[in-house]
Amino acid sequence: MGVPEQLADRMSMAEQHEYLRSKFSRRTLVRGGAVTLGAVVGGAFVPGATAQAATPAATPAADRRPSAETVDGALVAPFGRHLAYGTDPRTEMTVSWQVPTAVKKPFLRIGAHPWDLSRKIDAELRPLHTPAGVGASGDHTQYYVHAKLTRLQPGRTYYYGVGHAGFDPAEAHLAGTLGTFTTAPRRAEPFTFTAFGDQGVSYHGLANDALILAQNPAFHLHAGDIAYGDPAGQGKTSDTGFDSRVWDQFLYQTESVAKQVPWMVSYGNHDMEAWYSPNGYGGEEARWELPDNGPDPDNLPGVYTFVHGNTAIISLDANDISFEIPANLGISGGTQTRWLERQLRRYRADHDIDFVVVFFHHCAYCTSTAHASEGGVRAEWVPLFEKYSVDLVINGHNHVYERTDVLKGGKVTKELPIGGTAYPETDGVVYVTAGAAGKSLYAFSADQSYEGHEKDVESVASFVCVKDGHQQETVDWSRVRYLDYSFLRVDVTPASRGRLATLKVRGIAETGAQVDHFTLARRAR
């Protein structure tokens, strides 16, 4: 049963989508399994790449939902497309999307040209059921679809379309639904990436997305608190207000960017949705397909790493070590920290890698009055960042833009004024809180100070979360403080051996104005 013919003639695809969502809001779960996908080698597809399905929740006994057999696929429009790199961004990419109801035979078409989408690859449908009684969206099922591509050609742009039985993007009237992506180059080349945290669904989040697209980034880092389906953010089943449908809005909002820019996420406290196992991450596992090279992909799905050109990126899950919000405190039993050190040691021994960037949610250093600096991060990870001279640490959690001077052991080793240059190999680590992506803003304990409006202060009163509560501190490391919507742009320039490779980092406001800029430099080996 689809949209009645007399209505379909007058409704846009988006309106038909909303009609179907309201009419078929209760669906039979489709249990996923391992699927075999195509892979691209020298322009040809070969079998053998696989994607493992997440284990969906059991179908409630009272569920009497129409199956995919009863829905006209021609009237079901995919939405919420989002990309993610695989372990090797040169050859692996996952295309993910959402459908408002269960569909038959979901697939992806891909090719080197928009008029040549003859390669058709089966995709994996992952149903996510929210149990009855959980928030406004209880007893509701969402459907996420993933197609994992391997053996792609480095540095190549591909065209793709997503579909299912009855909806084929290769048909002329659906040409407007096509997307593109570009794999990472085989060798190091200049590139740009962007980053922020704490986005949610809002006009400000939408505005930041538009600005990010204008930067033409190779990929985007989201430092956690992604959609805010759980407004409490404590990781408890006793909390109220959860609404899984917020994710529908978020993925629709983000699609204009994420359908062509790999959207690499880490998980924050609002992403621990306790009603989904394991550890509140079952919902995230249904929605995202991230690299699975972390220490424990089943329990810590947001922990992974990838290399783009001369830059290694590491995503961590600070919920595992958070004193402030302890719902998942200690879930890895130290495995994550040991894995982190192995990755840092490996990257620093690799002469093809100049820079190491780490991103996660909870702030190591921030003077916002809302959330303290996270003592768990300072105890567990900061010593490793310093030992292996991590170049840049990007956090969210506080809905502000703040940037430190260069630090070692919590002390300023070098002042880094706006426009300045630091040398992490000898100077220390720079930390940026970029949590003003879209949710309501917080406040600072001192005056703002940003590009064109600098105001030097000798010290700032702040506090840090420790095991037994909060501890007051007075700090001198807060260099830039900006209280409005913003994001981070990083331009990476490699260099020949013996010359300086650079990370040029900029804080950019929602208005497009530059509020901070500095350079991190390292001699290429």
Are 235 and 372 found together in one domain? Answer: yes
Are 155 and 195 found together in one domain? Answer: no
What average pLDDT does the segment 281-295 reach?
97
Domain containing residue 26: CATH number: 2.60.40.380
Cβ-based neighbour number of residue 496 at 10 Å: 7
Are 364 and 496 found together in one domain? Answer: yes
Are 173 and 194 found together in one domain? Answer: no
Whole-number pLDDT of residue 172: 87
Whole-number pLDDT of residue 422: 98
Are 172 and 232 found together in one domain? Answer: no
Whole-number pLDDT of residue 457: 87
Q: Over 90: is that where the pLDDT of 317 sits?
A: yes
Strand partners, 182: 157
Q: Over 70: is that where the pLDDT of 19 sits?
A: no
The answer to whether position 54 is within a domain reads no
Distance CA 139, CA 133 (A): 7
DSSP state of 320: G
Q: What is the pLDDT of residues 65-74, one digit of tens each?
A: 555 566 899 9
Task: Check whether the bond before 291 is cis (ω within 30° of 0).
Answer: no
Question: Among the three residues 181, 212, 242, which one is the final residue of a domain in this structure?
Answer: 181
Are 493 and 478 found together in one domain? Answer: yes
Are 159 and 259 found together in one domain? Answer: no
Are 177 and 237 found together in one domain? Answer: no
Give the model's confidence band at 20: pLDDT under 50 very low, under 70 low, under 90 confident, else very high. Answer: very low
Give the model's confidence band at 3: pLDDT under 50 very low, under 70 low, under 90 confident, else very high. Answer: very low
Domain containing residue 393: CATH number: 3.60.21.10
The three-state secondary structure class of 120 is strand
Distance CA 325, CA 183 (A): 37
Whole-number pLDDT of residue 68: 59
Q: Over 50: is that where the pLDDT of 33 sits?
A: no
Question: Among the three residues 164, 181, 198, which one is the final residue of a domain in this structure?
Answer: 181
The answer to whether position 509 is within a domain reads yes
Are 161 and 199 found together in one domain? Answer: no
The three-state secondary structure class of 481 is strand
Q: What is the pLDDT of residues 42-68, one digit of tens each?
A: 332 222 333 333 333 443 433 445 555
Look up the domain containing 289 and give its range.
187-523
Backbone φ, ψ for residue 287 (5° rounding) = -85, -30
The answer to whether position 326 is within a domain reads yes
Residue 208: name the closest of 433, 512, 425 by CA: 512
What average pLDDT does the segment 229-255 reach?
96
Q: What is the pLDDT of residues 471-511, one digit of tens each?
A: 999 999 999 999 999 999 999 999 999 999 999 999 999 99
How many Å is the maximal CA-CA distance in the chain? 71
Q: What is the pLDDT of residues 166-220, one digit of tens each?
A: 999 999 889 889 999 999 999 999 999 999 999 999 999 999 999 999 999 999 9
**Helices 203-214 and 246-258 sit at what angle, rounded to 10 degrees?**
20
Show contacts of 325-328: CB within 8 Å, 24+ apart: 325/233, 325/234, 325/235, 325/269, 327/234, 327/235, 327/236, 327/269, 327/272, 327/274, 327/280, 328/235, 328/272, 328/279, 328/280
Residue 252: name the closest of 54, 507, 13, 503 by CA: 13
Three-state SS annotation for 162-206: EEECCECCCCHHHHHHCEEEECCCCCCCCEEEEEECCCCCCHHHH
Distance CA 398, CA 210 (A): 22
Are 209 and 174 found together in one domain? Answer: no
Whole-number pLDDT of residue 452: 96
Are 476 and 345 found together in one domain? Answer: yes
Number of domains in the chain: 2
Whole-number pLDDT of residue 34: 28
The answer to whether position 72 is within a domain reads no
Q: What is the mean pLDDT of the chain?
A: 89
Of 244-258, 333-347, 400-414, 453-467, minimum mean pLDDT range: 453-467
Whole-number pLDDT of residue 121: 95
The answer to whether position 67 is within a domain reads no
Are 176 and 191 found together in one domain? Answer: no
Q: What is the pLDDT of residues 88-103, one digit of tens each?
A: 999 999 999 999 999 9
The answer to whether position 42 is within a domain reads no
Question: Among the three residues 165, 181, 197, which one is the final residue of a domain in this structure?
Answer: 181
The answer to whether position 202 is within a domain reads yes
The three-state secondary structure class of 439 is coil
Reading phi first (left if > 0) and then psi (alpha if -120 to 50, else beta), residue 198 is in left
